Amino acid sequence: MDRTAPHTPRRPAGTALRRPAARRTPRSASAAGAAGAAVCLAALLAGCGGAGAPDRTEAAATKAARPPASARPVSSGLPGMPPVQDPKDIYAADRPGMLSPVVRKFPSRVYVPNTNSDTISVIDPATYEVIETIPVGRQPQHVVPSWDLKTLWVNNNRGHTLTPIDPATGEAGEPVDVHDPYNLYFTPNGKYAVVMASLDRELVFRDPHTMKVVKTEPVTCAGVNHADFSADGRYFIVSCEFSGELLKVDTERMKVVGQQKLPFEGAMPQDVKISPDGSTFYIADMMADGMWVLDGKKFATPKLLHTGKGTHGLYVSRDSREMYVSNRGEGTISVFDFRRDELTKKWHLPNGGSPDMGGVSADGKVLWLSGRYDAEVYAIDTATGKQLARIPVGGGPHGLAVYPQPGRYSLGHTGVFR
């Protein structure tokens, strides 16, 4: 992946989000029909919300899907963060059927950023077909659900913009100027967006709606990349892919409080994911061919668990029992069992491939991954590991988002929900 070209000059941050004319190329009559929906400025500034207030049926369904009150203790974590529902499983709100009223009426889609084509391929998961292509900015890296679940932000890394997409209509809004947005996260209380400005060597804390800068935290490592938050939301772990380092960042202070070099020559850490019980962070490393196992609280030297060549993406199953690990360099997916603390299976893609970033379907039955070097997307049965479909898309597909998904709010990336 080439991300070393010089930056274009910075531009003032924009705040107006409006739907430009002819922003997408429909591939089906049904997709074209959605283009007529107007998106009001006020709604976009509030997060491109396409859903109104939930009706009584939806509210009742949501209430029924919640764990009992005994499993919903009051959080003592980051101020303003929604209480953790189950201290033994921070993904308890991500079960099949537990869709927020905000997203319940959104059409199910897979949004694929094509870094070499400067487009988003939109896949209908029911037919495994690309139904439309949305032109966006230069080198889109990830499609990121907003904290309030109302917007999908496309990270146009070299275009130095974020393109908002309304998941209710599929319409793209006016791009917002944001410099070097390689990846994007949101603090667990929804107070800030955190831009991983990889080449700028910065963590940039911004308003989660307007994307205006609140604070810039310079870093001394190279290639800030992926992250995940502690169970209480008070800190997060960041991977630095080009210098083989990890950062520990205080969420409320917006400050780096720890830094360490990984004990592997040429380490290139990628995706970061916390265990369901909140005790352990896992960091994929595509040069060490495995994932680092880290106690985030102690932030001591982690241990390496080998999974496969080119380890890249980490995705927790809907029942919180397993984690799917994409091995981009060998065309496989390893399956890690949290309770047994070991790898239990390895799935091989027919004829190989380059499985990269993605997500799990709302019902938990399908793992969707981009084929980074093969201009394709893979749909994989999570029960058997069988490839269900291999779908041609644009060049260099990367951080695809499966949307909507269960969860109360999004922490960003391609969809990390709590």
Give the span between the Cα atoms of 160 and 151, in whole angstroms: 18
pLDDT at 211: 98
**What is the DSSP secondary-structure string of 53-109?**
S--HHHHHHHHHHSPPGGG-PPP-SSTTPPPPS-TT-TTGGGSTT---TTTTTSPPE
Confirm whether 257 is domain-assigned.
yes
Q: Which amino acid is at 263?
A: P
Question: What per-residue confidence (pLDDT) applies to 297?
Answer: 97
- What is the spatial distance between Cα 381 and Cα 360, in angstroms, rounded to a whole number? 10
Place of tokens 């907003």: 146
Does 158 fall in a domain? yes
Report if residue 229 sits inside a domain. yes
> What range does the domain containing 390 cover?
109-403
Query: Does pTM top 0.85 for this prediction?
Result: no
Domain assignment present for 202: yes
- CA-wise closest residue to 109 among 60, 50, 22: 50
> What parts of the chain have a pLDDT lower than 70?
1-75
Residue 327's DSSP bridge partners are: 311, 332
Is 42 part of any domain?
A: no
- Is the preceding omega at residue 404 within 30 degrees of 0, hence cis? yes
Sheet with 245-250, edge to edge strand ranges: 224-229, 235-240, 245-250, 255-261
CA distances from 323 to 156, 159, 276, 284, 364 (A): 28, 33, 10, 12, 12
Residue 61 confidence (pLDDT): 38
CATH code at position 208: 2.130.10.10
Q: How many domains does the chain have?
A: 1
Residue 53 has a pLDDT of: 36
Q: In the sheet that 202-206 helps form, which strands lie side by side, from edge to edge?
A: 183-186, 193-197, 202-206, 213-218
Cβ 149 vs Cβ 409: under 8 Å? yes
* 122, 109 contact by CB (below 8 A): yes
- Please, what is the end-to-end C-alpha distance for the chain in angstroms? 31
Asked if the structure places residue 78 within a domain, the reply is no
pLDDT for 159-170, tens place per residue?
999 999 999 999
- 235, part of any domain: yes
Res 76: pLDDT:
72
Please give the pLDDT value at position 40. Answer: 34
For residue 182, the model assigns a pLDDT of: 98
The answer to whether residue 339 sits within a structural domain is yes
| pLDDT at residue 24, as a whole number | 40
